[in-house]
């Protein structure tokens, strides 16, 4: 498990990987979450010439959203207990999702 005494930032992680910058974050912050998801799906579809057949978006969106919220909760809380309270989750489910979403690997770089 991650050491919650350390600070984890998705923003810093993505910046260090060259995937985002301050200007992008300012523009992103001006969009509604629903628009961001819709835009991401549109761009993904465009990359495969609108042929997302076989990828069951409707049934997978809950898992995609849960993973995003779980990563957010890890990033903004200082302790595992705080994270559990924020997510209204029990410890058993926390461990399950922590492993499922490979959180340790996601936040493995320490230079952010």
pLDDT in tens, the chain (112 residues): 666 545 588 999 999 999 999 999 999 999 999 999 999 989 988 988 887 777 788 888 999 999 999 999 999 999 999 999 999 999 999 999 999 999 998 988 655 4
Give pLDDT, residue 48. 87
Give every CB contact of residue 36 below 8 A, 6+ residues apart in sequence: 28
What is the per-residue pLDDT for 112?
A: 45
Structural domain boundaries in the chain: 10-106
pTM of the model: 0.80
Taking the C-alpha atoms of residue 51 and residue 72, their distance in angstroms, rounded to an integer, is 30
- Report d(CA 83, CA 17) in Å as an integer: 25
């Amino acid at each position: 498990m991650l050491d919650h005494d350390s600070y984890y930032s998705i923003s810093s992680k993505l910046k260090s990987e060259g995937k985002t910058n301050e200007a992008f974050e300012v523009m992103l912050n001006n969009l509604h979450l629903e628009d961001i998801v819709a835009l991401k799906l549109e761009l993904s579809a465009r990359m495969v010439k609108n042929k997302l057949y076989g990828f069951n978006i409707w049934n997978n969106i809950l898992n995609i959203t849960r993973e995003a919220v779980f990563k957010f909760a890890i990033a903004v809380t200082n302790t595992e207990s705080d994270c559990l309270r924020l997510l209204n989750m029990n410890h058993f489910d926390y461990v399950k999702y922590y492993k499922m979403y490979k959180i340790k690997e996601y936040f493995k770089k320490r230079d952010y």
